[in-house]
Chain A
Amino acid sequence: MIRAILIFNNHGKPRLSKFYEHYTEDTEQQIIRETFHLVSKRDENVCNFLEGGMLIGGSDYKLIYRHYATLYFVFCVDSSESELGILDLIQVFVETLDKCFENVCELDLIFHVDKVHNILAEMVMGGMVLETNMNEIIMQVDAQNKMEKSEAGIAGAPARAVSAVKNMNLPEMPRNINIGDISIKVPNLPSFK
């Protein structure tokens, strides 16, 4: 089981938090902070597994994380999950984000956390891995987005126009801080089908 999925940046700012167990908002923030502290002080070339999170789980739980450019993707899992499998899953997640956002960067996650949630929901459900095939995930996400668009129809047009205008005024929307080299080597390359 996956207990929590966290994405935060190099400064510990949460970009997405998904807890599959209930915690109060305060505890959630504490967990994010603690996890950030644990993860951020680690060198780049050490292993991606980490024990010793006090707040989440306990001895049966592990933090499995990956660091892409400015973002940390952290999964907190128990012993029923395969460590290398989860690493692969993170890779699939990031690649999926990359496909859905076309060259994903931190800003995409900042402004569209709801979309990231929707993508995640197609991969992991209630703490259990639902789908590991990227094409299948993208297909379902696209189908739902299409539905959303058709629902908005004419009525959605003005809102979209306004938001386009708003975005135009934004000099701070550079797309260059991209999540970086997502083709980081995964040890078990023949990935899931």
Chain B
Amino acid sequence: MALKIVKGSIDRMFDKNLQDLVRGIRNHKEDEAKYISTCIDEIKQELKQDNIAVKANAVCKLTYLQMLGYDVSWAAFNIVEVMSSSKFTYKRIGYLAASQCFHESTDVIMLTTNQIRKDLSSPNQYDTGVALTGLSCFVTPDLARDLANDIMTLMSHTKPYIRKKAVLIMYKVFLKYPESLRPAFPRLKEKLEDPDPGVQSAAVNVICELARRNPKNYLSLAPLFFKLMTSSTNNWVLIKIIKLFGALTPLEPRLGKKLIEPLTNLIHSTSAMSLLYECVNTVIAVLISLSSGMPNHSASIQLCVQKLRILIEDSDQNLKYLGLLAMSKILKTHPKSVQSHKDLILQCLDDKDESIRLRALDLLYGMVSKKNLMEIVKKLMLHVDKAEGTTYRDELLTKIIDICSQSNYQYITNFEWYISILVELTRLEGTRHGHLIASQMLDVAIRVKAIRIFAVAQMATLLDNAHLLTGNMQRNGICEVLYAAAWICGEFSEHLENPMQTLEAMLRPKVATLPGHIQAVYVQNAAKLFSTVLKSQEGSTEGTAAQETSQLMIDRLPLFVQSANLEVQERASCILQLVKYIQKLQQKEVEVAEEVSALFAGELNPVAPKAQKKVPVPEGLDLDAWINEPPSESESEDEQPKAIFAKEEPKHSRSRHTEVDEKELARRREARKQEQANNPFYIKASPSSQKVYQESPGVEHIPVVQIDLTVPLKVPGLPMSDQYLKLEEERRQKERADKKKKEKKKRKEKRSGRGRRHDSGPESEEDITPAHMVDIVTEEMPENALPSDDDDKDPNDPHKALDIDLDNLVESAGRRPLADSEKLPVRSHRAAKVAKSPVEDGDAENTPPSQEPKKKSSKEKREKKKDKDRDRKKSKEEKKKKKHKHEEKEEDLLGGEADEPVVQSEDTTEVVALPTSTNAEVSDLDFWLSNAPVPSNTQEAATVAATAEADSVPEATSGTAPDSDHDEPKNSELEETKSSKHKKKKQKKEKEEKEKKKKKKHHHHHRHHSDGGADESVQNGTVEDEEPLPPMSNYCLLAENSYIKMVCDIQGNLQDGSQVVVSVIFENKCDSLLKSMEFNVLDSLNSKLQRPEGSGPHDGFTVPFQLPPGVSNEARLVFTVQSIVMPQKMKGTLTFIVKNEDSSIHEKLDFKLHFTCTSYLITTPCYSDAFAKLLESGDLKCSSVRLEEVNMPFHHLLARICFHHHFSVVERIDSCASMYSRSIQGHHVCLLVKTSGQTVSIDAKCDEPTLLGNVLDEIKQTFSQC
């Protein structure tokens, strides 16, 4: 044996190894490719051998060749072989090769699943490590799905080396298999506090990556990160966290307020530039999110700008670069503070480093004003001339155009100057941005009417000198401007000085060398010009001149008719034919000019770039529907998903959506009407747009072009923009002088006269009046255009799928527990029955997130309640914003009910409008954030600690909460509310008075209560303190004897309308081992236990674990039910063996499983507007119930209904609440719960009366028990 090994390795030593290969390649510099191809042949031979060492060597060489650009995918299978070697040396070679050349479409990847799984669970940590590293490079959706669970286990590995790798790779798994995010998240969160700094850093890394894409889902982690930020000393982690906060602050301004102080401290204290820089960056983000110029923040902005200035002035180019980069972020919101450093930035424009010049260019964007635009552009034009590299020059060009055109040409006072700049830019050689210049020319000429005369003259010159532009083929990028020139000359030909000359220029033979689309424009506009020329010539009696023009057209057009470009050819032949006909008419001495020009009558309007996209889909048009039935092959696949969506979509998300949009739409429509009324170019319904324009009575309001004649219009030849600079200066001086005179005379008049035109500029700029009073036409948008900001989002962004709400998962497992479908696939027969080890069972912290928490401790309950309340509050807050328009709707909301709810709902919204609705309801995050005035560092740490404990000590919450109440009025949110409050109050009072009259007869007692409560709450901003809830559990006793106790919880399965999941906890009460437990029920017609495949209808379900003494464990069983309107009872038996040291006894325990109607309900959040719609729809049947002698606070009552009967609160108004739930088969159940004294009345509506009746009975029963 040993001999064989030695022999093998002796054979091997003459094989070429990696070093030999490299050496060989270096020795064959002339015929490298040939040498490598012989090497590849050798490698192929080596791969055919059985010896794994030889193979590994070959694969190692292939990895090197891959780096040199050789495709090695043909060896993929051999790579897999090497990966599966038992030796670490080879395994590592294999995984390295795989990580370099495997990707999603490598088909052998699917063969690796089991090998990787084996390596992951290898006792050798480096095997595992190598597998994780490799996998991180080539993980596919399939691998991610299959291995997610294994990797998750590794996250709790004993070795930190494995833990950190496992944590890190989870990000890749999430990307490929988004479903794994929810189940894995709790553990990931746990790793943020891992004792090992490496693991902690990895977890921070992953969460930062996740949060960067979908920040809102991670807001609730802010307190935790805050704690890490104040405690961590690892700069890398700090940087990540600070970056993360930068992403979170825009979503929660209060967070920003809290952050400013610690960040400022860090800025002052840290010596690490990287950290300093990130702090500055995040402070900037915070300031942007606060945006409003709060006085105490100007210090922070000053600090940032000052620190950045130090960076920019540093000799280190890296710091200079970053300083400019951060400066550009401040620029967006605080342009003034940046503008004071203009000198520095202009200086950077001359830096030798291109990256720095580019950054400085970015900043210039915000430096310009009406005053200095011309100057700055002049400077840039100088740079353009000097710039050698085309990239930088092109960048300059785009920047010039950006700067000038920003915010609708706000800073341009003289458009003639701008046109001249554009024309000058056309002289750039080899720029890629011809089309950009062209589109600017078009835009300006179309939208600034005053400039057309000038523009047309310039364009005519350009066309005349077209040979300058096209002479050199290298300049072909720039010939795009001819497109614009031709179009402008054609369209506005009435302004042409000498149309005939331009027409000739456009019909030169050389034009045929231009690109097709430009030729096409030439041909079309030649026709327009032709009509103009005809008009003038016919007018001047000389008939022959007109005929000569026609002849010119007929002579020249055939050139275009022969064009290879279809468009050109088509247009040319069409126009040629037309001209021939015109000539015929002319020969008969018929006047044709009128009719020819009618061809091109009317103006073209500018249309906004995304207008087409924003045309809303008309109602009733389903773009996804098939026009014809699709071919039948995919039918069976299509059907299922349809059924799922048909149920959910239309009733919830959609209705909510339109609701929001309607108001927005109305607003936009209004705005648009206004705009259209003022827009002379808007084509109204009448046939001739031009006439409308002339006759429309609204025209007087439009400031029509006034040309300031101080500027001479004629500039011979190509214009020089510099002239304008001088002129502008003179003009300004003159203006200033004028103004002084005027000011002396009458100040008041002037003030009212001014500002109408340009109110946007800062004060100092108002002095500068534009040379031309211009009317910049706005672009058109379609009617009913939908507002959509996500136009630019990439639909293929993998992070979209990771936009998953994680909060309720983290805060309370009960609210939206992980559904069955969300579990990570585990290798077992049934996912629903994952066995738990007793260890995990005992330790609540360790509960694998993929399983239902079985011990609902009081702690969890409280968390859950808080969470719920917060959600409710959130939705209310949202609602509040819409409140105004909502008010009528609100009345409709419960229109079918008695009168008093209306008043009450009015009142509640009042209460709700205040962010602090109740003390106990302040959620963790809100609570944490509510200490807006930032305490000193130590205090803060204490607060954080307190927050952490608040979960377990509810008293702490209620104890500190009053403080937060007093703090909160400082929040901006509240201030908003306050302003609107007064109005609302008034309206409310009026309404109340009306209602009072109606109601006086009944409900005396009740009304009194509600009124009093409401007034009080409006004044205080709070409802009476609500004490914490008593612990509740949904687990009810199923059966019990001296050996075992079974408790169970029954929940509907959201994913499947016919399934109910029963979680049974088995608790061993005796001193012996319980084993071979078999759970069996007698199936009824309606309900059946889902048994493993292949077992008969009477077989039991074998519980997949044994119970040592004193241990409990949970098993989940799935039942299928058909009808859910009636409660069900099923009889069953549990058989098991009690095993003592010496004997074993067979025992059994009978039980009755009770499926209440409640268990078919699923907690589903519902927004109040959707809720209102639902009630209005009239499809629901009504029923009501009355509970007497209920001795508990109202919020306890609601919590109980929520908890035991799976409802969610839609809205609560102190003693009245609306609640919602949905059955697994999609029935809506709506409740209106009112309380007065000890009587609680519940009015309910549901589309299934039987179900409703049963649910109400069950609710009644719940309260009769307590």
* Residues on A facing B (Cβ under 8 Å): 1, 14, 16-18, 20, 22, 24-26, 28-29, 42-43, 45-52, 80, 82-85, 87-88, 110-114, 117-118, 121, 125-133, 136, 140, 143-144, 147-148, 151-152, 154-156, 158-159, 161-163, 166-167, 170, 172, 187-193
Q: How far in angstroms is the closest Cβ of chain B from A105?
A: 14
Which 7 A-B pairs have CB atoms at the shortest separation, nearest pair first? A126-B136, A84-B274, A47-B317, A22-B103, A46-B353, A162-B13, A188-B274
Q: In the assembled complex, which residues on chain A have CB atoms less than 8 Å from the CB atom of B22?
A: 110-111
Q: In the assembled complex, which residues on chain B have CB atoms less than 8 Å from the CB atom of A189?
A: 271-272
- The CA of A97 and the CA of B17, in the complex, are separated in Å by 22
Q: Which of B12, B13, B272, B320 is close to A47, meaning CB atoms less than 8 Å apart?
A: B320
Instruction: From B235-243, B467-475, B535-543, B736-744, give the one contacting chain A.
Output: B235-243
Instruction: Give 22 CB contacts A-B under 8 Å.
Output: A46-B352, A46-B355, A83-B277, A84-B322, A111-B23, A112-B19, A114-B96, A121-B130, A121-B133, A125-B136, A126-B133, A126-B137, A128-B202, A130-B198, A131-B198, A143-B126, A144-B126, A151-B87, A151-B88, A151-B89, A159-B17, A172-B26
Q: How far in angstroms is the closest Cβ of chain B from A33?
A: 10
- The CA of A34 and the CA of B92, in the complex, are separated in Å by 31
Q: Is the CB of A83 within 8 A of B355?
A: no
Q: In the assembled complex, which residues on chain A have CB atoms less than 8 Å from the CB atom of B276?
A: 188
Q: Is the CB of B321 within 8 A of A193?
A: no
Q: How far in angstroms is the closest Cβ of chain B from A106?
A: 12
- The CA of A188 and the CA of B1004, in the complex, are separated in Å by 74
Q: Which of A114, A161, A190 is close to B93, meaning CB atoms less than 8 Å apart?
A: A114
Q: Is the CB of B168 within 8 A of A125?
A: yes
Within 8 A of A (CB), among B87-137: 87-89, 92-93, 96, 100, 103-104, 124, 126, 129-130, 132-133, 136-137
Q: In the assembled complex, which residues on chain A have CB atoms less than 8 Å from the CB atom of B26?
A: 110, 172
Q: Is the CB of B169 within 8 A of A88?
A: no
Q: Which of A80, A117, A147, A156 is close to B9, meaning CB atoms less than 8 Å apart?
A: A156
Q: Is the CB of B358 within 8 A of A26?
A: no
The verdict on A163 contacting B273 (CB below 8 Å), with A84-B322, A114-B63, A131-B164 known, is: no
Q: How far in angstroms is the closest Cβ of chain B from A143?
A: 7
Nearest residue in A to B324 (C-beta to C-beta)? A47
Q: How far in angstroms is the closest Cβ of chain B from A5?
A: 12
Q: Is the CB of B355 within 8 A of A118?
A: no
Within 8 A of A (CB), among B798-845: none
Q: Is the CB of B89 within 8 A of A148?
A: yes
Task: Tell whether B462 is near chain A: CB-to-CB under 8 Å.
Answer: no
Nearest residue in B to A159 (C-beta to C-beta)? B13
Q: Is the CB of A80 within 8 A of B209?
A: yes
Instruction: From B66-74, B902-910, B1017-1025, B1174-1182, give the one contacting chain A.
Output: B66-74
- The CA of A28 and the CA of B233, in the complex, are separated in Å by 38
Q: Which of B202, B277, B317 is close to A46, meaning CB atoms less than 8 Å apart?
A: B317
Chain B 249-277 interface mask (CB, 8 Å, partner A; 1/0):
00000000000000000000001111111
The verdict on A159 contacting B239 (CB below 8 Å), with A22-B103, A83-B318 known, is: no
Q: Is the CB of B198 within 8 A of A28?
A: no
Within 8 A of A (CB), among B193-248: 197-198, 201-202, 205-206, 208-209, 212, 233-236, 239, 243
The verdict on A159 contacting B9 (CB below 8 Å), with A113-B64, A128-B205 known, is: yes
- The CA of A159 and the CA of B88, in the complex, are separated in Å by 18
Q: Is the CB of A43 within 8 A of B104?
A: no
Known: A80-B209, A84-B277, A132-B201; 8 extra A-B contacts, CB below 8 A, are A42-B354, A43-B353, A112-B19, A118-B92, A144-B88, A156-B9, A163-B19, A192-B235
Task: Tell whether B172 is near chain A: CB-to-CB under 8 Å.
Answer: yes
Q: In the assembled complex, which residues on chain A have CB atoms less than 8 Å from the CB atom of B355?
A: 46-47, 49-51
- The CA of A39 and the CA of B618, in the complex, are separated in Å by 53
Q: How far in angstroms is the closest Cβ of chain B from A59?
A: 12
Q: How far in angstroms is the closest Cβ of chain A from B447?
A: 28
Q: How far in angstroms is the closest Cβ of chain B from A118?
A: 7
- The CA of A117 and the CA of B132, in the complex, are separated in Å by 15
Q: Is the CB of B168 within 8 A of A126?
A: yes
Q: In the assembled complex, which residues on chain A have CB atoms less than 8 Å from the CB atom of B66?
A: 25
A52, A125, A159: residue with the most chain B Cβ atoms closer than 10 Å: A125
Nearest residue in A to B233 (C-beta to C-beta)? A193
Q: Is the CB of B318 within 8 A of A47?
A: yes
- The CA of A166 and the CA of B15, in the complex, are separated in Å by 12
Q: In the assembled complex, which residues on chain B have CB atoms less than 8 Å from the CB atom of A192?
A: 234-236
- The CA of A67 and the CA of B353, in the complex, are separated in Å by 16
Q: How many residues of B contact A (CB 8 A)?
A: 87
Q: In the assembled complex, which residues on chain B have CB atoms less than 8 Å from the CB atom of A121?
A: 96, 130, 133
Task: Tell whether B316 is near chain A: CB-to-CB under 8 Å.
Answer: yes
Nearest residue in B to A117 (C-beta to C-beta)? B96
Q: In the assembled complex, which residues on chain B have CB atoms less than 8 Å from the CB atom of A88?
A: 274
Q: In the assembled complex, which residues on chain A have CB atoms less than 8 Å from the CB atom of B273?
A: 84, 187-188
Q: Is the CB of A136 within 8 A of B103?
A: no
Q: Is the CB of A113 within 8 A of B67?
A: yes
Q: In the assembled complex, which residues on chain A have CB atoms less than 8 Å from the CB atom of B212?
A: 80
Q: In the assembled complex, which residues on chain B have CB atoms less than 8 Å from the CB atom of A125?
A: 132-133, 136, 165, 168-169
- The CA of A88 and the CA of B277, in the complex, are separated in Å by 14
Q: Is the CB of B13 within 8 A of A158?
A: yes
Q: In the assembled complex, which residues on chain A have CB atoms less than 8 Å from the CB atom of B202?
A: 128, 130
- The CA of A25 and the CA of B197, in the complex, are separated in Å by 37
- The CA of A26 and the CA of B103, in the complex, are separated in Å by 15
Q: In the assembled complex, which residues on chain B have CB atoms less than 8 Å from the CB atom of A118?
A: 92, 96
Q: Is the CB of A20 within 8 A of B137?
A: yes
Q: How far in angstroms is the closest Cβ of chain B from A16?
A: 7
Nearest residue in B to A107 (C-beta to C-beta)? B22
Chain B 1-35 interface mask (CB, 8 Å, partner A; 1/0):
01001101110111001111011001000000000
Q: In the assembled complex, which residues on chain A have CB atoms less than 8 Å from the CB atom of B172?
A: 126
- The CA of A16 and the CA of B66, in the complex, are separated in Å by 10
- The CA of A163 and the CA of B168, in the complex, are separated in Å by 38
Q: Is the CB of B318 within 8 A of A48?
A: yes
Q: In the assembled complex, which residues on chain A have CB atoms less than 8 Å from the CB atom of B23?
A: 111, 170
Nearest residue in A to B127 (C-beta to C-beta)? A147
Q: Is the CB of B209 within 8 A of A190?
A: no
Task: Tell whether B411 is near chain A: CB-to-CB under 8 Å.
Answer: no
The verdict on A80 contacting B243 (CB below 8 Å), with A50-B355, A191-B235, A192-B234 known, is: yes
Within 8 A of A (CB), among B137-165: 137, 139, 161, 164-165
- The CA of A167 and the CA of B17, in the complex, are separated in Å by 12
The verdict on A49 contacting B243 (CB below 8 Å), with A125-B169, A129-B205, A189-B271 known, is: no
Q: How far in angstroms is the closest Cβ of chain A from B93?
A: 7
- The CA of A133 and the CA of B523, in the complex, are separated in Å by 69
Q: In the assembled complex, which residues on chain B have CB atoms less than 8 Å from the CB atom of A20?
A: 137
Q: Is the CB of A111 within 8 A of B69?
A: no
- The CA of A121 and the CA of B277, in the complex, are separated in Å by 28
- The CA of A161 and the CA of B506, in the complex, are separated in Å by 81
A1, A113, A188: residue with the most chain B Cβ atoms closer than 10 Å: A188
Q: Is the CB of B320 within 8 A of A190?
A: no
Q: Which of B209, B271, B317 is close to A45, meaning CB atoms less than 8 Å apart?
A: B317
- The CA of A114 and the CA of B100, in the complex, are separated in Å by 11
Q: Is the CB of B12 within 8 A of A159?
A: yes
Task: Tell whether B179 is near chain A: CB-to-CB under 8 Å.
Answer: no
Q: In the assembled complex, which residues on chain A have CB atoms less than 8 Å from the CB atom of B331?
A: none
Q: Is the CB of B5 within 8 A of A155?
A: yes
The verdict on A140 contacting B67 (CB below 8 Å), with A114-B96, A187-B316 known, is: no
Task: Tell whether B171 is near chain A: CB-to-CB under 8 Å.
Answer: yes
Q: Is the CB of B6 within 8 A of A155?
A: yes
Nearest residue in A to B101 (C-beta to C-beta)? A25
Task: Tell whether B60 is near chain A: CB-to-CB under 8 Å.
Answer: yes
Q: In the assembled complex, which residues on chain A have CB atoms less than 8 Å from the CB atom of B12?
A: 159
Q: Is the CB of B353 within 8 A of A16?
A: no
Task: Tell whether B319 is near chain A: CB-to-CB under 8 Å.
Answer: yes
- The CA of A193 and the CA of B277, in the complex, are separated in Å by 18
Q: In the assembled complex, which residues on chain B have CB atoms less than 8 Å from the CB atom of A191?
A: 235
Q: Is the CB of B67 within 8 A of A136?
A: no
Q: In the assembled complex, which residues on chain B have CB atoms less than 8 Å from the CB atom of A46?
A: 317, 352-356
Chain B 688-711 interface mask (CB, 8 Å, partner A; 1/0):
000000000000000000000000
